[in-house]
Amino acid sequence: MNPLDAAEGTPVSAVRGRKPPRSIAVGFAGKQGREYLPLLMKYSRPVGLVESSAEGEETARRLGLPHFDSVESALRAVDFDLALITVPHSAHYAMCELLLGSGKHVIKEKPFAITERDAESLTRLAVANDRSVYTLVQRSFVATFDFARRHLPQIGRPYWFAYDYHLDLPEPTCGWRADYARALGGVMLDMGYHVIDVINAYFGMPASVQSTFLHCYEEMRLRRLEDLASVQLYYPSGSMAGTVTVSRHYHEKTERLTVLGAEGTFRVEPGSAELRSRRGEYIDRLSPQTPKGAVVEAMFSHYVRHLDDREYRAAHLARQRSTVRLIDGIYASGAGRTACGAPPAVTVGPRPGDDGAEPSTDPNGGPERWRTDPTNSHCSVVSP
């Protein structure tokens, strides 16, 4: 069934007895927008749809909702509380800036921001306007990943992990993700955002990273959009390290996090989690039968319920800022790699605001858009 067909006629659900927020959807005709629009219909009261394509106008007509070709038009025409944003990466910041500055809550596709400076700017806007901006990253709502996070202490001191995440795309990347001007990065910014969100939640920020970007297809190399990212992460204690590998062109879709600890091991996948002793005996395991749709709905409804929760909002913003900073460092390291040499190590350690407080107002407090001018980066490069 077309998910937009499922949205038609869906009753609006009140959130814990409160009146559901009025909402708009921005960029709803794409894959992610089509996935989330039924949930917006269910957990809020849509008052308009924003999409420039003819398909978007037809969908709005069919659903009986006003159609707008821009966020500015929607702001002038209708009153709403919440905007759902599912657009290419390059459009995120300007839309969020406009909406937060207009006093609207935002739920958006990843990434939270492209650079740490943009992330800090959005955080200040959210705080100043007392509004939330939540990023749609699902792993925290997957039962196996939550199980692993809660039971991680049972394996003792972790000293190594490997997170491998591969898609099974048989052809080169297409659509807007194949256009650098709109994607602003390859697999690390796209798939890798989910991975880094998990890694930061489990282990906190590493001290430094080294990364290598590789290409299955020559056209992707010419467009500076990596097909594969391989990252080494080193932690402040000096007694833990990890690896992250994300790619689009494996023979099967697979995702697995393996953690080695002084007293046991963890293996986590979307559909299963296993905790074992060092001898290999099972200590605990979980194999839930939860469909992806239920996970997505749990995440979306949770965000809607917590639109006005300042404590949850602050924690979410801090985590997303650290995710953006780490990805910035990963790209900075990859950009510094020479043709015949190892990539440089880039320091990415914690900064003020990581505890959930508002970030520093120092204009030099975060990296610039180094992807177009690497000399602007405030990441420290250490010789390998």
Q: DSSP string covering 216-277, please?
A: SSHHHHHTT--SEEEEEEE-TTSS-EEEEEEESEEEEEEEEEEEEESSEEEEEETTEEEEEE
Lowest model confidence (mean pLDDT) among 13-22, 162-171, 226-235, 324-333: 13-22
Number of separate domains in the chain? 2
Tell me: do 194 and 173 sit in the same domain: yes
pLDDT value of position 3: 42
In a shared domain, residues 87 and 188: no
* pLDDT, mean of residues 189-199: 97
Tell me if 12 is assigned to some domain.
no
153 and 110, same structural domain? no
68 and 119 share a domain?
A: yes
- Domain containing residue 270: CATH number: 3.30.360.10
Beta strands in the chain (DSSP E): 22-26, 45-50, 67-68, 82-85, 105-109, 133-136, 158-168, 208-214, 228-234, 241-247, 249-261, 264-269, 272-277, 282-286, 345-347, 380-382
* Mean pLDDT in residue range 194-215: 95
Percent of the residues in the chain that have a pLDDT greater than 90, as a whole number: 75
Whether 76 and 183 share a structural domain = no
In a domain, 344, yes or no: no
Residue 5 has pLDDT above 80, yes or no: no
> Which domain does 112 fall in, by range?
22-136
Does residue 334 form part of some domain?
Answer: no
Judge if 153 and 38 occupy the same domain.
no
Question: Could you tell me how far CA 119 lies from the centroid of its own chain?
Answer: 12
Note whether residue 227 is domain-resident: yes
Last residue of a domain, one of 113, 136, 159: 136
Q: 296 falls in which pLDDT band (50, 70, 90)?
A: very high
- Of 245, 262, 264, the C-alpha closest to 254 is 245
Query: What does the pLDDT read at residue 349?
Result: 78
Residue 55: pLDDT band (50, 70, 90) is confident
Q: Any idea what the CATH number is for the domain that residue 127 is in?
A: 3.40.50.720
- Tell me the pLDDT tens digit for each residue of 61-71: 999 999 999 99
pLDDT mean over 210-226: 95
pLDDT tens readout for residues 243-278: 999 999 999 999 999 999 999 999 999 999 999 999
- CB contact at 8 A, 318 and 353: yes
Measured between its terminal Cα atoms, the distance across the chain in Å is: 52
Q: Do 284 and 147 belong together in one domain?
A: yes
Who has greater pLDDT, 376 or 14?
A: 14
Strands 82-85 and 105-109: parallel
What are 153-178's pLDDT values in tens digits? Answer: 999 999 999 999 999 999 999 999 99
Last residue of a domain, one of 136, 151, 172: 136
Q: Which of 272, 289, 306 is the last residue of a domain?
A: 289
Paired strand residues for 196: none
Cβ neighbours around 238 below 10 Å, total: 8
Return the structure tokens found at 371.
């992807």
Cβ neighbours of residue 250 closer than 8 Å, sequence gap 6 or more? 166, 167, 168
